[in-house]
Structure 1
Amino acid sequence: MTAQPGALPGPWSAILDEARRYPSPHNSQPIAARVLDDRRAELFYDLDRGLPAENFGIPFAHVCAGVFLESLATVAAAHGWAVREDLRLAEMDFSSPQRHHLLGTVELAPTPVTDAAREQMAAFRRRRTSRRPYDRRPVDPRVTAEVGAIAAGMGQEFGRTGEQDLVDDLVRINQETLFDDLRDDAVHAEILSWIRTSTRQAAATRDGLSAETMLIPGPLLRIAMRHRWLWDLPVVGGLFRRVYLRTMRGVRELGWLTGPFDGPRDHVEAGRCFLRVWLAFTRHGVDLHPFGTVITNPRSHAAFVARTGIEEAEGRMAWMLFRYGTGKPPPRAWRRSLDAMLLDRETTAVAS
């Protein structure tokens, strides 16, 4: 059951109403909250909104949790609050009859609002995924140096390339990943459940991957996703590929993150790092588009690592690949209302 946001004590309504705009895989928005009092709230992961069919889909549930925790901290700081966390991180069981997995408890403590907090909040409000073509302008090396320092400060390594042959190869790998995923029945069903092929459908669910944000005509997206065998036909498959690659025009640089990725705590910290990296790009007017399926698809991941020469060992993994650049503002993705995110006190959960 959901709770009504009007009944929330303290600053929770204002904080959660903005924090709910955090990015999530397939725009699934799986984080739920139960407000306990004017300072404390419990956080949960809604297992029905996860992506367990994909390889690394379960670890990325905790990455998403980390993204949300960093979003919450960003919003709270701009409202004059620090967030203290008591996390209970355990592997998620997507077969559990209890569909909300407890992540832990957060508590608000007063803190002065700084100029840095205001700037970060402004970036959070502007941030969005851009699948639009980019304009081929190179990103200022000072921006990528700042991003590299942020990643290094969190135990991660930021890698990048502006070598056009490598960029084109990785974009091709990303394109072929979608076609490969569609051949897997479980992954195909999972992807299909999050596709929104019309404005009316996207507005009704307020989640998922809309045709508008993917820059693909709704009827074409509907046919392509529901009749996956068409991808293998020379003419029709070629059309789908051209439409998909049209959105990738002007990509001049790609970036990736490599670091500890060997358990829920690593995954949460990876998520925090990713949002900080994203907001750093946003502060400087640079757009970003994650290539998440390249990481979660085993063949694509292997091809990506081999092509870039990344070394993965001792629990370290190249866990994120993304394009970045500048271009026209992208459409804003839908977000569910605050009341849809809230749980009442009677909701049971999977505790760690």
Structure 2
Amino acid sequence: MLAATTTEGEPMATPWTGIIEDARHYPSPHNSQPIVLRVDDDQTATVFYDLRRGLPAESFGIPFGHVCAGVFLAGLDLVARAHGFAVTESLDHAEMDFSRVDRDPADHLHRLGSVALTPHPATAADREALHGFLARRTSRRPYDATLVDDDAIRASEAIAAQAGHRFRTTADRATVDEIVRVNQATLFDDLRNDAVHTEILHWLRFSKRQAADTGDGLSAETMLMPGPVLKFAMEHRGLWEAPGIGATFKKVYLSTMRGVRQLGWLEGPFGSPAEYVEAGRTFMRIWLDLDARGIALHPFGTVITNPRSHAAFVERAGVDESDGRMAWMLFRFGRSAPPPLAHRRPASAMTLTATADGGAS
């Protein structure tokens, strides 16, 4: 069994030092940063998902653990190429069992597979892609109400099609406004679920100092809400339905949604860990392509994971979820002012080193 803690301050095998330092900037649900790497030697590493950092309370929260893995692996490949290496993967695709942490808190690392590095001549395009990866941020700021250009749409369609998925978008005002309303209502609906409410509270950071100290979570700053207001609102969820106060909370939340002119989503196979991983990989590639074009993006993840909201979205958008396909990602995209920085944990916090007996420390 693997050790429950990572090493701090011990040297990592090169060339992993620089690769992990950059790869840690991958996006994750609630900025939970659940991926852990065990450096086995200079060429190989084992990839794990830290079950303590997942979101199992939400419907589809467990599949999105593997989606997050796919997002990370897409970023790792890009980062490694800029550092002069190609990545070869050998993935396990086993189901995640979050209940095992309840049985044994030390047993919290789910093995995703192994990765190996082989030399690759880094190109100018590789280095530019790394620059874009490091600069990428989720923008919850108001957007400028302009449409995304057709070239960007076609590029997203092509990336999705290469992986057997379909990228769709709508700029129909009534449809956009209704789905934005569904997204807003989803938060209040989720708060009625005790387990989801507890999970959300665990990942909220109500001050800049708290966000910087933990290096993870959803900060009030990135959510564009005053920390004390957010804290009070989330700790007194019953008031969301109260006259006056509830309307004020909702108005503050919806103010960040100004200027949303267009929504995009992805449809495709989404029924097994292997498909979840490939979905995440596809989403990351589309996100980075849009970001390179100056187009901001903000996932509406809870609309997908909340069953009532998912059904409302599917009906409004005219999605066909037959034959094992699903609308598994929804987001607003457009142009906005640069968003605040979301903090990341240090590379040492996501790194294990192999021990002589084959374990890790």
Q: Give the structure-2-normalised TM-score.
A: 0.95
Number of the residue aligned with 1:88: 92
- DSSP 3-state at the match of 2:58: coil
Query: What is the aligned counterpart of 1:10 among 6, 11, 14?
Result: 14
1:182 counterpart = 2:191:
yes
Aligned equivalents of 2:269 and 2:251: distance in 1?
Answer: 36
- DSSP 3-state at the match of 1:213: coil
Number of the residue aligned with 2:60: 56
Contact 1:100/1:348 (8 A) holds in 2: no
The residue correspondences of 1:8-87 to structure 2 (distance < 5 A) are 8-87=12-91
Aligned equivalents of 2:335 and 2:11: distance in 1?
Answer: 41
The residue correspondences of 1:250-261 to structure 2 (distance < 5 A) are 250-261=259-270
Aligned equivalents of 1:344 and 1:192: distance in 2?
Answer: 32
Q: Deviations over 1:71-111 (max 9, x none)?
A: 10010011111000011111000011210001111000011
1:191 counterpart = 2:192:
no
* Alpha-carbon offset, residue 348 of structure 1: 6.7
* Alpha-carbon offset, residue 6 of structure 1: 5.2
| Pairwise CA RMSD | 1.3
Contact 1:158/1:256 (8 A) holds in 2: yes
* Alpha-carbon offset, residue 5 of structure 1: 5.7
- DSSP 3-state at the match of 2:117: strand
Unaligned runs of 5+ residues in structure 2 are: none
Query: What is the aligned counterpart of 1:207 among 193, 216, 233?
Result: 216
Identify if the C-alpha distance between structure 1 residues 90 and 223 changes in structure 2 by more than 3 Å, giving closer, same or farther.
same
Give the counterpart letter for 2:296 in structure 1.
Answer: D
1:264 counterpart = 2:268:
no
- DSSP 3-state at the match of 1:212: coil
Number of the residue aligned with 2:176: 167
Aligned equivalents of 2:8 and 2:19: distance in 1?
Answer: 15
The residue correspondences of 1:320-335 to structure 2 (distance < 5 A) are 320-335=329-344
Number of the residue aligned with 2:117: 108
Unaligned runs of 5+ residues in structure 1 are: none
1:314 counterpart = 2:323:
yes
Number of the residue aligned with 2:352: 343
Aligned equivalents of 1:112 and 1:161: distance in 2?
Answer: 40
Aligned equivalents of 2:7 and 2:89: distance in 1?
Answer: 22
Aligned equivalents of 2:20 and 2:78: distance in 1?
Answer: 11
* Alpha-carbon offset, residue 119 of structure 1: 2.9
Contact 2:12/2:353 (8 A) holds in 1: no
- DSSP 3-state at the match of 1:214: coil
Number of the residue aligned with 1:118: 127
Aligned equivalents of 1:182 and 1:265: distance in 2?
Answer: 31
Aligned equivalents of 1:87 and 1:180: distance in 2?
Answer: 36
Aligned equivalents of 1:234 and 1:84: distance in 2?
Answer: 56
Q: Deviations over 1:27-71 (max 9, x none)?
A: 000000110110000010000000000000000000000000001
* Alpha-carbon offset, residue 114 of structure 1: 2.6
* Alpha-carbon offset, residue 319 of structure 1: 0.2
Q: Percent of pairs identical after alignment?
A: 60
Contact 2:142/2:255 (8 A) holds in 1: yes
Contact 1:173/1:304 (8 A) holds in 2: yes
1:289 counterpart = 2:298:
yes
Number of the residue aligned with 1:128: 137
